[in-house]
Amino acid sequence: MKPEELKAIEDQRQALLDQLKTAEAALRKNLHTHGFGYTARAHMERALAHILEAYIALNEINRARTVQQLVSDLVRVQRVMDDASRGQSQHI
């Protein structure tokens, strides 16, 4: 690849990273907004996880999970958290 082609690719990568940072900041800010219910918050949390994984994909080639792997991992974590929450409420 020619140097100008490599530079163009790197410029695109940097632009994407900047957009991801902007989206991450907006989601983090909105996670603290109340009144929209659990479903909206859950979607924002999931979107944040996808943004962070996209950041990894752009910076560490071959280290990012597939979308299916990420979703599976997030579902597993949620189940553990739900089980722990149920266990705590049973002991109260």
pTM greater than the 0.85 cutoff: no
User: Over the stretch 33-78, which tens digit does the pLDDT of each residue have?
Assistant: 888 888 999 999 999 999 999 999 999 988 999 999 999 999 999 9
Six token digits for residue 17 = 């990273």
Measuring CA to CA, how many Å separate 66 from each of 25, 45, 53, 61, 76? Answer: 23, 18, 9, 12, 15
Q: Where are the domains of the chain?
A: 3-90
